[in-house]
Amino acid sequence: MSIIKVTVFQKNINSDITREQKVKLIAQKSDFLLFPEFFPNTTRISDKFIADNEKFYLDKLLEVSEYYKGVIIGGSIIRKIKDKYYESCPIIKNVSVIEWYNKRTAGSIGNVNYSSGDGELIFILSGIRFSILLGDDLKNEELIKKIKDEKISLVFNPSSLICPSESYLQKYDQGLKESMELSHKHLLNLIRTSGIGNLYGENLLALSLYASNVGINWKIATNENSTEIIKTINVSLIGGISPSN
């Protein structure tokens, strides 16, 4: 059994990291830092040219790696590859992009439609085997089966929930139930962080959590759905350890 530390950063996607938050992130001394889907999205730009800010947004995430020394997962960036747009989650360590996870679920942001991506699903860093399921990819049964077949027990889910306030409690209960059932059925440690703020006119409300095969180990309270939160959790991994480590 291995115990790792994961820092969940429930972050406003429209604002930069403050000096106080930087100090707190340094103090966590965790193995992984998880940002939400669509962070950073700090610049008001034309939807038509959203992908032109790929380097700008990536540089903001690389800056975090200058003072946070663990592995950074997320947030997500719209990339243009061979005339197609993709939503991608970077994996960052030591001020370098180690790998990308490309979202399999096609979608849109503003007026930009992004395609279903492909590429790596399983990653190994510091002897830890893990997977990333970006946003609604968590609902993809084919991906879940591949993760289970590979005996992966650690799954990161950077997400952002577009939700009107009046529907939040229903979404909250539904999200907890689905996460608990998924983790129990497939023996997963599922760690989700959600963005808050505004995504091109759509309101974001958070549902950050940690679910394992025994249930919900940690979750935000319903009155924390619009609050920036930095939370470090201990995760016990029975599987998911690289044999070479």
> What average pLDDT values come out for the chain (245 residues) when binned by 10 residues?
93 96 97 96 60 85 97 93 93 97 92 91 94 97 96 97 91 96 97 93 93 97 97 84 39
CATH of the domain at 138: 3.60.110.10
Q: Does the residue 39 lie in any domain?
A: yes
Sign of CA dihedral 192, 196, 199, 201: positive
What pLDDT does 51 receive?
64
Specify the DSSP class assigned to residue 241: B
What pLDDT does 42 receive?
65
Q: Does the residue 161 lie in any domain?
A: yes
What is the count of structural domains for the chain? 1
> What's the pTM?
0.94
| 36 burial via Cβ count (<10 Å: 0-12, 13-18, 19+) | buried
Say which residue the tokens 């200058």 belong to. 66
**Alpha carbons 155 and 190: distance in angstroms, whole number:** 5
What pLDDT does 242 receive?
41
What pLDDT does 241 receive?
44
Look up the domain containing 112 and give its range. 2-237
Q: Does the residue 243 lie in any domain?
A: no
